[in-house]
C-alpha cells in the first residue's frame, strides 16, 4: 500500500513547469483523477498587461490542474523517480465568462479526468473566481 501524502511532494514533483510558467501556487486537493488548485494572478504571467491578465491564460491553468492529478497518478503508479514527460494538449472546448483577470485575484481550478484510454485522456476543468465560474475548459491530453 502506498502511503505517500500530498505534503510529501512539491509542485515540481507533479508538473514539468518551471519559472514564470509554473502558475499554480497551491494544490488544495488531489486524487488520481481529480485536482483542485489555487493560483494567484501575477503581473509576471504570460498574457499580462497593465489591465490584468487575458482570460486565455485560464486554458493554461486548466492544463496545469490536469497535470497535477495526472502527475499524482504517475507518482502513485510508477514512483516519484518516474519520467515526468509532459502531454500534447488539445483544446476541445473553452468557454470564457470574463475577458480579464485582475492581479492578485485567486483562481480556483477544479479539474477532473472524464475519459481515460491508454495514453489519451480528456479532462474537464471549471475555473472559479470567488464563487463565480469564470471559465469551463475541456482538454484532450495525449502522452507519447
Query: What is each CA distance from 6 to 69, 70, 94, in whole angstroms?
Result: 11, 13, 29
Whether 115 has a pLDDT exceeding 80, the answer reads yes
Beta sheet of 106-117, edge-to-edge order: 26-31, 34-40, 106-117, 120-129, 132-142, 88-96
Q: What is the mean pLDDT of residues 90-114?
A: 97
Count of helix runs (H) and strand runs (E) in the chain:
2, 9
18 or 66: whose pLDDT is higher?
66
pLDDT value of position 5? 72
pLDDT band at 1 (very low <50, low <70, confident <90, very high): very low
Whether 63 has a pLDDT exceeding 50, the answer reads yes
- For the chain, which domains are there? 6-142 (3.10.129.10)
Cβ distance 54 to 85 under 8 Å? no
Count the neighbouring beta carbons within 10 Å of the beta carbon of residue 50. Answer: 6
What would the pLDDT profile of 81-101 be if each residue is shown by its tens digit?
Answer: 777 677 788 999 999 999 999
C-alpha cell at 86: 509532459
Strand partners, 120: 117, 142
Between CA 134 and CA 37, with CA 10 as vertex, the angle to 5 degrees is 15
Amino acid at each position: 500500500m502506498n502511503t505517500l501524502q500530498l505534503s510529501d511532494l512539491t509542485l515540481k514533483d507533479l508538473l514539468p513547469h518551471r519559472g514564470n510558467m509554473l502558475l499554480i501556487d497551491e494544490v488544495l486537493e488531489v486524487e488520481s483523477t481529480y485536482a483542485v488548485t489555487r493560483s494567484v494572478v501575477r503581473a509576471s504571467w504570460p498574457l499580462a498587461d497593465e489591465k490584468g491578465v487575458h482570460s486565455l491564460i485560464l486554458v493554461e491553468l486548466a492544463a496545469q490542474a490536469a497535470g497535477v492529478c495526472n502527475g499524482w497518478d504517475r507518482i502513485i503508479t510508477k514512483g516519484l523517480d518516474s519520467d515526468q514527460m509532459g502531454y500534447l494538449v488539445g483544446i476541445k472546448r473553452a468557454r470564457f465568462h470574463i475577458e480579464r483577470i485582475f492581479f492578485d485575484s485567486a483562481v480556483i481550478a477544479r479539474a477532473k479526468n472524464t475519459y481515460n484510454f491508454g495514453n489519451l485522456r480528456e479532462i474537464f476543468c471549471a475555473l472559479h473566481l470567488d464563487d463565480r465560474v469564470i471559465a469551463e475548459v475541456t482538454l484532450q491530453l495525449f502522452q507519447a
